[in-house]
Amino acid sequence: MERTYTLVISCPDRVGIVAKVSNFLAMYGGWITEANHHSDRDANWFFMRHEIRADSIPLGLDELRTAFAPIAREFEMDWYISDSEKKKRVVLMASKESHCLVDLLHRWHSGELDCEIPCVISNHEDFRELVEWHGIPYHYVPVDKNNKQPSFDKVEEIVEQAGADCVVLARYMQILPPNLCEKYVGRVINIHHSFLPSFAGAKPYHQAYERGVKLIGATCHYVTAELDAGPIIDQDIHRVSHRHISEDMVRLGKDVEKTVLARGLRWHLEDRVLVHGNKTVVFN
């Protein structure tokens, strides 16, 4: 796979942004392999993502950043340039449901998910053997329901030591404390087992069964301090009928959950997800 730089920008919308950025890239002979724009007219905000072949540009990454900085200032951009050779570090967290964890580990192991997984954290010992078989360290951090803070302090310490760019709650059944939600804003991805905003909170499939819905779903979103209310990255559904009891919904939902989570994580890793307010732009 060829090395690419990815330039991601969001800023107040105005005329001339595309021209300025395109000129900048063209001036250095940048070979753009993918480009996406979006103008949110309600928010008057502009979003842009370029993938550029690294070997087409006669600048190193730091030089490129330095060269671009004046343009970014002029347009008051939130921006960054990522390098495909610097893989993102993703910490996985799980509890007692294995389907999302196994799915992500397999995608990583088979080369489909382009990241590093420095460790897995769980509040149970169940998956140690599985995780370690993949050559990944396993941290068992039990959570005392009457005194959770020490556990989350431990989690924070592990995440910091792992140099994590991103934390994935792969059916981790604990609610992160607000301080961690805020510290890692835009970097913690959760899979919720319902079609949000329906059935936030506990036991969504049982809620869905009680309501008699004909479709169940799953939602991949960034975690915020408000439970199951963060920016949505992706959602999908599966049809159910009166023949399905809540246990069937749990089973059928697993396939939706793991697919949606993997998709959302992949887009995050490829810098395709831009958050603005409580919504996402996904350049996929």
* Active site amino acids: 228
Q: Report, in this order, helix, strand and coil percent for the chain, each rounded to 5.
A: 35, 30, 35
Residue 19 CB, shortest distance to its own copies, in Å, is 3
CB of 160 to its own copies, least distance (A): 30
Q: Which residues contact 101 (CB under 8 A, 6 or more apart)?
A: 92, 94, 120, 127, 130, 131, 170, 171
At its nearest, how many Å lie between its own copies and the CB of residue 240? Answer: 10
Number of H helices, E strands in the chain: 8, 14
Query: Pairing state of beta strands 215-222 and 232-239?
Result: antiparallel
> How far is it, in rounded angstroms, from Cα 235 to Cα 256?
9
Give the tokens for residue 62. Answer: 């730091």
Dmax over CA atoms of the chain, in Å, equals 62
37 or 65: CB nearest its own copies: 37
User: What is the token pair recorded at 96?
Assistant: 């007692």
145 versus 242: smaller Cβ distance to its own copies:
242
Backbone dihedral angles phi then psi of residue 14, each to the nearest 5 degrees: -165, 170
CB 270 within 8 A of CB 6: yes
User: What's the rounded Cα separation, in Å, for the pair 6 and 194?
Assistant: 32
Q: How far is the CB of 115 from its own copies (least distance, A)?
A: 15
Q: Indicate the residue among 136 and 154 with the shorter CB distance to its own copies.
A: 136
Residues near its own copies (CB under 8 A) are: 15-16, 18-20, 22-23, 25-27, 29-42, 47, 56, 98-99, 102-103, 106, 110, 112, 133, 195-199, 211-215, 217, 231-237, 241-243, 245, 251, 254-255, 259, 262, 278-282
For the CB of residue 78, give the shortest distance to its own copies in the complex, in Å: 16
Q: How many CB atoms lie within 10 A of CB 62?
A: 9
